[in-house]
Amino acid sequence: MRPLSRILRLMLQDQKAALLRGAALAFAVLVMGIALLGLSGWFITAAAAAGLAGLGAVFDVFRPSASVRFLALGRTAARYGERLLTHDATLRALETLRLRLLEGFLAAPHDRMIRIRGSRALNRLTADVDALDGLPLRLVLPLMAGFAAQFVTFAVLWRLVGLSVALWLFCGWLAAAAGIMLLISRRALPLSRRAEAAAQAIRTRMIDMIRARPDLAVYGLLADQAASVANAQERHLGMRLALDRIDRRTGLAIGVASAVLSAGALWIGLALVEQGRIAPAFAALGFFAALALLETVVPIRRALSDLGRMTDAARRVVGGLPPAHQGAARCGHLTGQGLLLSDVAVARPGGGAGIVAGLSLAVAPGETVALTGPSGSGKSVLLLAAAGLHPLNAGRIVVGGTDLSDLPEPELRDHLTLVPQRTALMSGTVAEALRLGASAASEQALWDVLDVVQMTAVVKSRGGLAFRIGARGAGLSGGEARRIALARALLRHPDILLLDEPTEGLDEATAHRVLAGLRAYLPKAAILMASHREVETRVAHRIIPLR
């Protein structure tokens, strides 16, 4: 329950006033409902008794009837205000929660970020956060308001009817609610978790099928993937039906408890009437109040059905939130001194064995340094470490005369740019893809960088800057997508440029022209690249072999 409590604290932190007002109105709704039914029962019984006694002419019908109307209208108004306040506050709190979750994704270590699948992240932002709307609306606020209404009803019945009736109803409803939650939750909680997991599987498999539809069709696996989606849907439906059966049994148990407690309250009240301790109308008041108290326990049904789902969703969301307290970044000052790695040691992503140790090198402004070595020798990991995206086991990295750990993130990104081996292009036009690197870049600037990476003719032949690229670079070859990503990086005019196999997928002549144009476009930039091609090492001033 710890993740649920943290999510609730965050919601209260964002919307405390609105949620507390909503809780007060929820309490008012319950109290008015109990008072309405109790007063109506008393009024009918008292009026009948007065008629039988021949006192109908002097019986006051105006104040009780006015009170009944007041309670009925007041309960309606309070219910409207409660729904308006609590739903608005919850939606606003969930909006803030989504923003925090996105912040957590952006602040995640690089090795964790690259393992987050698109469909999984989308599910977390939508299904998991949506599941948490029931935390205040169906769990916390209704149960708090219900307990408070039970306590107030106990005090009023003690004063008007008697301690025995008040104790019977208060202890009986609490015991019934606790017993129902204990018995039903043993089956409902794990089943709710499995149903939510099945729902997540449906979404993930469906998204995977849509995205990989061409490949699945080529290899004859599209029908198999569709069957996998259908199987997940069938499992989810079966679990939802089982949850519905549990919900109906919970309702039956609550109804039986209400009948028993109401009958007990009536029996105790009649005994008190026979003893002459209360009037018959007050015995009816206790009976009808017992019926009305059913509303304080009904939220248990929905809470039990959703509790497992909410618990798992809260655990996943909390795991993706940024740290509660992040220290302020220390300010540095970049002097244009290039890049310095001093006695650096790094390990594989995920805490594996060390692959580079004791490496020192300097890349001066205007210099190109190539890292070479077999696959797995640590070239890409070193570039990630130099970009501040991978932790160091030892040593230090200095960017522009300032220690990397002392640089605020925005200032670091203004002066250093990484083009990784796996580039990312989103759906949109070529111009939109390029302007992710520099939103204010002019059209001429876009054509200039396209010319540097030898993409001008390709883009013009496909409709110019308005040519639409599909998701993940669909519509471009691997080499074309890599060059678009390189052009996007050039638009930032970085002082330090980190390149991971920048000419992969290009023929030697095109690769040579791209590398020559890159240096001409950024004559003063310090360039460090991971390389395995001779055409790349030929343009380097120095070559650092890794083993």
For the chain, the structural domain boundaries read: 2-320, 339-545
**CB-count burial class (<10 Å; 0-12, 13-18, 19+) for 328:** exposed
Taking residues 511-528, report their average pLDDT. Answer: 89
Q: For residue 328, what pLDDT is reported?
A: 42
Instruction: Considering only residues 156 and 405, tell me which one the structure prediction assigns the higher pLDDT.
Output: 156
| Percentage of the chain modeled with pLDDT above 90 | 9
The CATH class, in words, for 2-320 is: mainly alpha
User: In the structure encoding, which two tokens stand for residue 374, read together?
Assistant: 């077999």
Which region, left, alpha or beta, applies to residue 116 given φ > 0 means left and ψ of -120 to 50 means alpha?
beta
**Beta-strand relationship, 339-347 and 354-363:** antiparallel
Cα–Cα distances in angstroms (integers) from residue 123 to residues 95, 120, 422, in the given order:
15, 5, 23
How far is the first Cα of the chain from the last one, in angstroms, to the nearest whole number?
49
453 pLDDT more than 90: no
Q: For residue 284, what pLDDT is reported?
A: 85
Q: Where are the alpha helices (DSSP H) in 403-500?
A: 409-415, 430-435, 443-452, 456-461, 478-490
Evaluate whether 539 touches 529 at the Cβ level (below 8 Å): no
Q: Which helix (H) or strand (E) holds 107?
A: helix 62-107
CA dihedral sign, ordered 193, 194, 196, 197: positive
Rounded-to-integer distance, Cα 500 and Cα 370, Å = 10
What does the mean pLDDT of the chain come to? 83
- Could you list the beta-strand ranges (E) of 260-353: 339-347
Least confident of 17-31, 64-78, 164-178, 301-315: 301-315
DSSP state of 136: I
Rounded-to-integer distance, Cα 511 and Cα 486, Å = 12
User: In the structure encoding, which two tokens stand for residue 363, read together?
Assistant: 């890349």
The string of pLDDT tens digits covering residues 299-323 is: 877 777 777 778 888 888 887 777 6
Against a cut of 0.75, is the pTM above it?
Answer: no
Cα–Cα distances in angstroms (integers) from residue 403 to residues 61, 398, 455, in the given order:
84, 4, 37
Rounded-to-integer distance, Cα 2 and Cα 137, Å = 19
Within the chain, how many helices (H) and strands (E) appear? Answer: 21, 11
Evaluate whether 59 touches 46 at the Cβ level (below 8 Å): yes
The string of pLDDT tens digits covering residues 109-151 is: 666 666 665 556 666 677 788 888 888 888 888 888 988 999 9
Taking residues 244-261, report their average pLDDT. Answer: 88
471 pLDDT more than 80: no
Q: For residue 391, what pLDDT is reported?
A: 80
Rounded-to-integer distance, Cα 7 and Cα 136, Å = 10
Residue 381 makes CB contacts below 8 A (sequence gap 6+) with 346, 347, 348, 349, 355, 356, 390
3-state secondary structure of 372: strand
58 pLDDT more than 60: no
3-state secondary structure of 87: helix
- Identity of residue 244: D
CA dihedral sign, ordered 216, 427, 130, 308: positive
Q: For residue 477, what pLDDT is reported?
A: 79
Evaluate whether 233 touches 241 at the Cβ level (below 8 Å): no
Nearest residue to 411 (alpha-carbon basis) of 353, 466, 359, 335: 335
For residue 474, the Cα-to-chain-centroid distance in whole angstroms is 28
| 398: β partners | 340, 403
Q: For residue 330, what pLDDT is reported?
A: 45
Q: How many residues can be counted in the chain? A: 547
Q: Which helix (H) or strand (E) holds 215?
A: helix 213-218
For 339-545, CATH gives 3.40.50.300
Q: Where are the alpha helices (DSSP H) in 387-429?
A: 409-415
Q: Which helix (H) or strand (E) holds 156?
A: helix 141-160
The string of pLDDT tens digits covering residues 348-390 is: 766 556 688 888 888 888 898 888 888 878 888 888 888 888 8
Q: For residue 420, what pLDDT is reported?
A: 85
Rounded-to-integer distance, Cα 306 and Cα 283, Å = 38
DSSP state of 363: E
**CB-count burial class (<10 Å; 0-12, 13-18, 19+) for 163:** exposed
Q: Which helix (H) or strand (E) holds 144?
A: helix 141-160
